[in-house]
Chains A and B, each alone.
Chain A
């Protein structure tokens, strides 16, 4: 069998890895604050209000933080979904599945950038 070093995989694995770190580090606390802190009575609802959030997101550093938080874990999920589909029996069409998964992450990144930069 002739083996050839793959020149594309390290790139996606690198993004998967980085996305995984961001997801592990930041996502749990953000889920708690965004979804459970208010119903649990630990946070005043007006902290997440229109005025408060709009002011916060206007800050370019916050935009950068949000971009990292929202975009990178998409590559983590894309990579995991791609390989899980392979392990669940979808061995044919691996290339197509890869394009679908990473393509989805790229589209998500584009949306995130667009919303953060142009809309807010």
Chain B
């Protein structure tokens, strides 16, 4: 048997094995934020399913579609959208926030400083959002 097994066999006393409760993520604030980041994906998926449903209703005729659009302006849905937006923003901020640490960008022989990579990612996000907003607010 290998050395470790031998040591374990000969060590008389029992080591104490700590356990991790399912509520480990409530132990400190950073773990909690991590769990919120993971939860954000659920709200994003929920919004997209709702969006898909809206598109589906386009095949059910004008009345059905309009009735549903009106119901989306009720308090319940507005609360959902606010919460979903908060989670979506948190996801985006944590996602782009780590770009600099993970993605090494090279321009020729030079390594772009991580802070610049992150800034570029955020800049790209804002630019895309402005573009889509412009499309909705001005083009349509």
Contact = CB atoms under 8 A, between A and B. Distances in A.
A and B touch in the complex (CB under 8 A): yes
A91 to B, nearest CB: 11
A32 B88 CA distance: 10
Contacts, number: 139
Contact size range, B: 35 or more
A30 B58 contact: no
Interface string B18-48: 0000100100000000010011011011011
B66 A57 contact: no
A56 interface: yes
Interface in B54-73: 54-56, 58-59, 61-62, 65-66, 69, 72-73
A70 interface: yes
Interface residues of A, number: 53
B116 interface: no
Nearest to A33: B136
A111 interface: yes
Interface of B: 22, 25, 35, 38-39, 41-42, 44-45, 47-49, 51-52, 54-56, 58-59, 61-62, 65-66, 69, 72-73, 77-78, 80-82, 84-85, 88-89, 91-92, 95-96, 124-125, 128-129, 132-133, 136-137, 140
